Amino acid sequence: MSFHHLCTTGALCLLASTSAFATSAAWDTPLAGYSGDGTSSAAPWASGAAYAEWNVFDSASSDATPDIAGSGTLSQTSPGAGAFLTGSGNIYSAGGGAAFSIDLVSSLTGSYDIWLRVATQGTAADSVATLNGIAATKQVSFSAVLGGFGGSEEEAYWHWTVSSPLALQFSFGSSEAHMSLDQLAVLAAPVPEPATWLSLAAGLGVIGALARRRA
Ligand SMILES: [Ca+2]
Ligand SMILES: [Ca+2]
């Protein structure tokens, strides 16, 4: 079934035709109510932490070539034939709930904060996502009703802390149909080691002692 055949109801046509929101690496698009300069959406990760990032997807079933950063494979396992690419490269799940997995090879050693970040239109992602089988709860950084068909524009992320993972395997999705996946990123930042904190605290202690001697 072609996109045009699917685009026969007003709601679906509108959603499909307005799915071109995040078309660059800047997530905080003005169309989502942000400034559009990349600084106004919630970003608890360090700059430059992008580990893999997709914006324009290659197909509705799999994309093994992240177009903004990194390497890895995004796969959609549901709804199969009910999913299609929009003209702007979103993965639109028309036929049922969406289920995605992301597989990355990891060379991270030590403790890392890991974030999975998504931008969607229409149906929002479900609350729970997993990393290597460990569940996390979605944090919504932006949400606005798009109007007309009950969908929303949403930016959200999940957070985990892992230690020297050999692989990063994520799963997330939506239990309801009509999620349009616009953008997706995995971010990684090292957790400061306890020794770093101890030496930092000791350094502050020395500075404090020197300040007291000079006082
Ligand atoms: Ca690609
Ligand atoms: Ca996009």
What is the structure's pLDDT at 145? Answer: 80
pLDDT, one tens digit per residue, over 10-56 is 344 344 433 334 444 456 555 555 555 555 556 778 777 889 999 99
Q: Do you find a cis peptide bond into 79, omega within 30 degrees of 0?
A: yes
Query: Could you state, in order of their start, the residue ranges of all structural domains in the chain?
Result: 3-214
- Ligand 2 centroid to 143 CA: how many Å? 16
Q: Which residues surround ligand 2, an ion (CB under 5 A)?
A: 22, 55, 182-183
SS3 label, residue 194:
helix
Give per-residue burial for 57-95: e unless 16+ CB within 10 Å, then b: beebbebeebeebeebebebeebeebbbbbebbbbbbbb
pLDDT of residue 18: 39
CA–centroid distance, 109 to ligand 2, in Å, is: 31
What tokens appear for 102 in the block?
């992301």
Segments of the chain scoring below 50 in pLDDT: 1-25
Q: According to the model, what pLDDT value does residue 149 have? A: 63
73 C-alpha to ligand 1 centroid (Å): 9
What is the average pLDDT score of the chain? 80
Which ligand is nearest to the Cα of residue 182, counting in written order? 2
Q: What is the CA radius of gyration of the chain?
A: 20
Q: Which 3 state secondary structure label does DSSP give 213?
A: helix
